[in-house]
Chain A
Amino acid sequence: MDSSSRAKIWKWVLLICRVALGVIFLVAAVSKMRPLEGLPWTVASVKTSLAMFAMGIDSYQILPQWAVTPVAQYLPLFEIFLGLWLISGIALRISSIFSTLALCAFIAAMGSVWHRGLTVTCGCFGQGGPPIGPKDMMRDGFLFLPLSVILLVGSFLLAKKSRARSAGAGAAVPQTGS
């Protein structure tokens, strides 16, 4: 397989990975903001859902109390931003760094809860569900994180390749001209 075919495959893989990851982040954000059953989508109902999410974050017992509410309010917005950023494909290397770091932080938080034996629900896709266990960490660690790592590695490889190609083309032009 020549290098251009490999590059083409990488582009496809990256497209699939970034759209899938973007959708995961968007769904996670909307699940956290979704109004409670029976309530319409209003600012007040979203605030209530975020207050529920704050309780979830608080029960992780990781953040200081003053940080719980700001994180609960801004994390879903960050996830929406990151999701759209990944799907857009703009500055993919930077967005993939952010998504990898975010997923590593989520996995570390869940691992810490599990290690301390706390019975806390994940809250990753809204409130509810069973307490955090290996299943949640495996989902993030073996499904979401690899997508992000593939994206990260692939975007850097492609960038390197395209830099090398443009450098090669740049070097070739004077030779042709001389």
Chain B
Amino acid sequence: MMATISGKSASHGTVRTAIRGGIAFAMALLCGALFSSALAAPGQSAKMAKASPSLAAPDKSYGVKSAPIKMEVYSDYQCPHCREFYDEALTRVIREYVSAGKVYLVHHDFPLAGHKYSGEAARWANACAEVGQFDAAEAALYDHQDQWGADGDIGKYIAASMPVSDFNRVQAIMKGSAMPAPQATVASLDPMAGVQHPCSMDPYIVQDIKAGYQIGAPGTPDFVITYKGQSLKPIYSSVSWPVLKQLFDTLLKQ
């Protein structure tokens, strides 16, 4: 009797184990399916390709186009996080990687509507880029962000950052334009809405803003890194220098 009971219990246990094993196997199959879907996540390259500017905008870049890494930064000159990102990371990128021909750094304007003078600052930066003084203008805009951010007197700091002859050319470009300047609000709204006295630089700013919308920029700063033509996922915030450097180093070791 006892032997029969224990025999039944053993066979019952075997069946239970087999069923549980079957479930584990099914779950493992599900796991495999999830893994393969995780491995085959769609890339960003097609989307990024669409985002590339088509107008021959003034050169707001550092370095050589043939560099293995391209870094496109979307920023607002009146944004404190952008200034922090520029001061702590981008200046080092320029010094250590751009000058070595490893990184091609491109600036895109994404002046946010919440910042009163951001669009106007973008106009000045583009005008300076037109005369080959973009780097000086960018440094001046970030260095004196608090001052011109308070009173809107951007020209004073731009003038101090470059030779008089160049500044005169910049002023000629800016002539006739007045606030408000194009700004980023939401993708469905025209960045030129409300602009009464446009500047010849405005189409380039609008083009940058639209490119920002295409990468899904929710604010600033944002950046996209492209390695040998392959765009990585956009980063929608600033990152610290050591982390950015680590990414560059690992990419360059590929």
Residues of A within 8 A of B (CB): 15-16, 19-20, 22-23, 26-27, 30-31, 34, 36-39, 44-45, 47-48, 50-52, 54-56, 58-59, 65, 68-69, 87, 118-121, 125-131
Contact = CB atoms under 8 A, between A and B. Distances in A.
Given A55-B243, A55-B247, A58-B240, A126 B232 contact: no
B18 interface: no
16 contacts: A34-B38, A38-B43, A39-B230, A48-B247, A48-B250, A50-B250, A54-B246, A54-B247, A58-B239, A59-B237, A65-B243, A68-B243, A69-B242, A87-B24, A130-B218, A131-B236
A23 B242 contact: no
B45 interface: yes
A151 B232 CA distance: 37
B38 A19 contact: no
A59 B218 CA distance: 14
Contacts of B250: 44, 47-48, 50-51
List the 9 shortest-distance A-B pairs measured between CB atoms, nearest first: A37-B43, A128-B233, A19-B27, A59-B237, A51-B247, A119-B218, A127-B233, A48-B250, A23-B31
A26 B233 contact: no
Interface in B228-254: 230, 232-240, 242-244, 246-247, 249-251, 253-254
- Main secondary structure on A side of the interface with B: helix
A121 B246 CA distance: 20
Contacts of B187: none
B101 interface: no
Contact of B227 (A22, A36, A47, A127): A36
Given A15-B23, A23-B30, A131-B236, A55 B230 contact: no
B253 A19 contact: no
Given A23-B31, A36-B227, A120 B236 contact: yes
Contacts of B249: 51
B34 interface: yes
Contacts of A45: 254
Contacts of A27: 31, 34-35, 38
Interface of B: 20, 23-24, 27, 30-31, 34-35, 38-39, 41, 43-45, 216, 218-219, 227, 230, 232-240, 242-244, 246-247, 249-251, 253-254
B244 A30 contact: no
B27 A20 contact: yes
Nearest to B241: A65
B247 A119 contact: no
Contacts of A36: 43, 227, 230, 232
A52 B239 contact: no
B232 A52 contact: yes
Given A37-B44, A127-B235, 20 more contacts: A19-B23, A23-B27, A30-B35, A30-B39, A31-B38, A36-B227, A37-B43, A47-B250, A52-B232, A55-B244, A65-B243, A68-B243, A119-B236, A120-B237, A121-B236, A125-B38, A128-B41, A128-B233, A129-B233, A130-B218
A69 B243 contact: yes
Contacts of A23: 27, 30-31, 34
Contacts of A39: 230, 254
Contacts of B20: 15
Contact of B31 (A26, A48, A56): A26
B76 to A, nearest CB: 13
Contact of A59 (B230, B239, B242, B253): B239
Contact of A65 (B24, B35, B240): B240
Contacts of A56: 235
Most buried by A among B35, B234, B242, B243: B243
A128 B44 contact: yes
